[in-house]
Amino acid sequence: MIVEERKNITTNGTSVRGSLLSYRLDTFGFYGKTESENICLEVYEEGMVRVRISRNESFDDFHYALGNNLNPKSIDFLEKEDSIVISTSRVEVSIMKFPFRIIFRNEKGEVINEDDTSFGTSWIGEQVTTYKKLQPNEKFIGLGEKTGPLNKKGRGYQNWNTDHFGYDKNTDPLYCSIPFYMGIHNNMSYGIYLNNSHKTHFNFGASNNRFSSFSADAGDMDYFFIHYDNVNDIIGSYSRLTGKMGLPPKWSLGYQQCRYSYYPEAEVLNTAQTFRDKEIPADVIVLDIHYMDKYKIFTWDKERFPCPETMIEKLKALGFKVVVMCDPGIKVEEGYKAYEDGIDKDVFIKYPDGTNYEGEVWPGWCHFPDFTKEETREWWTDQLKSYSDVGIEGFWNDMNEIATWGQSLPELIEFDFDGVKGSTRKARNIYGLMMAKSTWEAARKNLAGKRPFNLTRAGFAGIQKYAAVWTGDNVASDEHMLLGMRMLNSMGLSGIPFAGFDAGGFIGNASENLFARWISMAAFTPFFRGHSNVNTKSSEPWTHGEHTEEISKNYISLRYRLMPYVYATFYEASETGTPVNRSLAINYTHDENVYNEAYENEFLFGSSILVAPVSSEKEIEKIYLPEGEWYDLFTDQKYAGNQETLIECPVEKLPVFAQASAIIPVQSQVYSNQEKPDQLLEIHLYKGENKNSFVYYEDDGESYDFESGSYYKRSICYDPQLQQLSFSQKQGSFESNFSEVKLYFHGFGTDELNKLSIEKEDYRFIAPLSNFDPIDSVKHEDYKISNLPYTTFKLKNDEFSINWK
């Protein structure tokens, strides 16, 4: 159905400033005009509506953050005297005519989100702002890599990618800009993604009690409104909009050891060998800028690293991959191949007079590639091949805000934008995104079938398609450790499943207890890396004393034993966008305690493991367990949920809990993800009242063969009423690494399991600590689960079940 263009006047025959002067509707959208604006509303999903408002005849085509194959859906609409109503099964959009305003309601007619009646969308010069009426007790979460609390109500933030060394708990902006947030009120949730890469501003009721707002310093007002029944579905919709994370190589999910910097080659090899000698699992050695010849990318310091390929082969034999630092600055230097080739191919960003911009950074004065230009991306692929040719499969994109000495990148610099042209004002926030995209696409091509690992500091919405993100130059303090957990949880809320921080802190020296606590927490984060600055103590687990070394070894080892659970969780994230680290605001959105300052750092690691981060200075802490029942992971002590609980948390025991009805697969100890575990898979089942399922997933962990069916997937379902654990038929052509299952029953009495052949054993997720003091004999707690019942059975490919009723 098409409605021809109509002229609009009020019932008394006069026009109102900001009113619709004319509009038309067709099968796929609403198109209107005020005296100064063009307007377009389109529906992309049942719960997703795009709103575009421009003062130009045509709308900006900013697409770099969006996924592929985005097409508007056909719409149903109703014309009224004062409004036009567009309806889907999820959302009712009222487009008010006098003046033009938008109200979003749910299927029950309840207001989810609405424009401020007086201000709506307004311009001040080039800056465009949409004002939204604050709803009663409205909370705001997300917005990516931001400091501050989980609930950002009462605060304001900017998005302008900035290199901020040693930021504090209130610093803003930082390295990565994700202009997506969610609002929560009255048992409803919604999301708003602002699709504009200029400097943007978000006000969540800061300095006023009337409105929240989001604005851009230039360009169109272009936002996507998303509403579904729960926060996780909203994150999923946003992930479909901006693209989902690809499944990373399994080795990248292990422990990564970094230092600013490891050199020469002998130190690199010695570090790797020490991990193996001490039987501390690790998969990656990361090389910071000192591997380069005078900090020039695509080069090696020939004195420190005379034969990189041989070193990488030796590391490979030890089960290590290498990740290298990649800075965008290309030194202006005659004879430097990357510089001369870049000049020849005209790949650098420019001043308006056509000369190449120069900024000073580590190598000296540099040009910078224009990653918004196709020819530059092709050039980058050619340059990056020098790394893959010597066996490197991991890349670390740094200094890509763009960071230069002086931190004042001129705003008049021109970028290509694939022929459309634009300035720094539009390009700065996406420079990191486009560098990460270029690196990922280059690595995928150059590695010929192997999955690359790609890490970035700067990014924008959609960065999850191309890279993991880490939180930059943090500080060795308890405050920063806990801030880092909030930031990772916020990034998960904002569509970035693969995120992490520098465990132990990059700046300064962590105490023994701080390092031990940080490593234990980091073992339950998606990206797991230890890193430290030059002129500080190294961050290898053995550098902080024997006690700290054993604690670190315990939790790093636990990470590897949990790898079947971790890898399946990453698979879920790649399919749905559900984060690996899950703020409790995802599953317990309307529980006020979740937003309490004392508990806002808590999160679910995957679907069933709750982690309560605590200071290294605390040995007893009050935590909050949400509704349900929870088992202490290390002792099986059971706790009732929906209440505060005092927990003992000495430095060797992080508060970690398994949810009742949880299904947690565990493998034998390995020291690298490139090492095959034993063929016995443990499955830990926790007694509960609710049904639960877990999607178990395997593939080869390194290639893209899974895309053509070479994977192993099945659902494992627990039914407490039937007293049954069932396994669906195996999907995919990949053969499991496991042939036998050892099923542990947590919380079950032996009399409940008498139909099965049951044995018992003491079980430990972490080993007891040694006593290193020969004088003061301290007996450390042995955290074990005594007489844990289990049964064993062969793993079959067909559907089958284990019944104990």
Enumerate residues 6+ apart whose C-beta is below 8 A from 725.
663, 683, 685, 716, 717, 718, 719, 743, 801, 802
The b-or-e profile of 638-658 (16+ CB within 10 A means b, else e) is bbebeeebebebebbbbbbbb
Phi-psi region at 620: left, alpha or beta (left = phi > 0; alpha = psi -120 to 50) = beta
Tokens 């499955």 sit on residue: 683
478 belongs to the catalytic site: no
Tokens of 281: 């699992």
Distance, CA of 494 to CA of 48 (rounded, Å): 16
What whole-number distance in Å separates Cα of residue 746 and Cα of residue 785?
9
Peptide bond just before 261 cis, omega within 30 deg: yes
**Candidates 92, 283, 301, 401; catalytic one:** 401
- State how far the Cα of 738 lies from the Cα of 729, in Å rounded to an integer: 15
Which 3 state secondary structure label does DSSP give 576? helix
Residue 418 a catalytic site member: no
Which distant-in-sequence residues (6+ apart) come within 8 Å of 344 by Cβ?
A: none
> What is the bridge-based pairing of β-strands 629-632 and 638-640?
antiparallel
Give the span between the Cα atoms of 134 and 733, in whole angstroms: 52
Distance (Å, whole) CA 653 – CA 659: 18
364 by Cβ neighbours in 10 Å (0-12 / 13-18 / 19+) ranks as middle
Identify the helix (H) or strand (E) that includes residue 481.
helix 478-493
- Residue among 672, 797, 801, 798 nearest 735 (CA): 797
The span from the CA of 112 to the CA of 136, in Å, is 11
Choosing from 115, 283, 414, 473, the catalytic residue is: 473
Query: What is the Cα–Cα distance from 134 to 129, expressed in whole angstroms?
Result: 15
Q: What residues are paired with 184 via a beta bridge? A: 139, 189
Among candidate residues 42, 115, 145, 398, the one labeled active-site is: 398
Would residue 719 show up in a list of annotated catalytic residues for this protein? no
Beta-bridge partner residues of 32: 23, 39
Residue whose C-alpha is closest to residue 638's, from 602, 615, 662: 662
For the beta carbon of residue 223, count every other beta carbon within 10 angstroms: 22
- Count of all residues that appear for the chain in the document: 805
- Rounded Cα distance between 124 and 78, Å, is 33
Beta bridge partners of 581: 605
> CB within 8 A of 353, min separation 6: which ones?
none
Closest to 233 in 3D by CA, of 185, 188, 196? 188
Give the DSSP H/E element, type plus range, for residue 763.
strand 759-763
Burial class (CB in 10 A: 0-12, 13-18, 19+), 775: exposed
What DSSP string runs through 295-316? TBTT---TTT-S-HHHHHHHHH
3-state class of 47 per DSSP? Answer: coil
Residues with a known catalytic role: 398, 401, 473
